[in-house]
């Protein structure tokens, strides 16, 4: 009897977990794109001598962002409820 009562709650929790997984995938996509754009803008600023210091900082920040995003790709949170 107790399992029949919890079944809709478990289904609802799994539905919410699926939505979190979709949002997580979208955030990973945005992180990859933004790291590429930041490195690209930093390289343009650095190599055109418009603002060398800012360009180096942007390249370093973009590389750190890419490493962080890749870490979360390799070790994602678990969104399933068993």
Indicate the domain borders of the chain. 21-74
The answer, yes or no, to whether residue 3 has pLDDT greater than 60, is no
The answer, yes or no, to whether residue 2 has pLDDT greater than 80, is no
Long-range residue pairs from 16-19, CB within 8 A, at least 24 positions apart, any chain: 17/79, 17/80, 17/81, 18/79
Instruction: Band the pLDDT of 8: cuts 50, 70, 90.
Output: confident
Candidate from 18-27, 30-39, 70-79 with smallest mean pLDDT: 70-79
Predicted local confidence at residue 14, as pLDDT? 83
Q: Helices (DSSP H) in the chain: which residue ranges?
A: 2-47, 52-74
């Amino acid at each position: 009897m107790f399992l029949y009562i919890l079944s809709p709650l478990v289904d609802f929790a799994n539905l919410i977990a699926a939505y979190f997984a979709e949002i997580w995938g979208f955030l990973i996509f945005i992180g990859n794109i933004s790291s590429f754009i930041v490195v690209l803008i930093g390289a343009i600023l650095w190599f055109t001598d418009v603002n060398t210091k800012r360009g180096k900082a942007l390249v370093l920040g973009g590389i750190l962002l890419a490493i962080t995003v890749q870490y979360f790709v390799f070790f994602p949170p678990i969104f399933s409820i068993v």
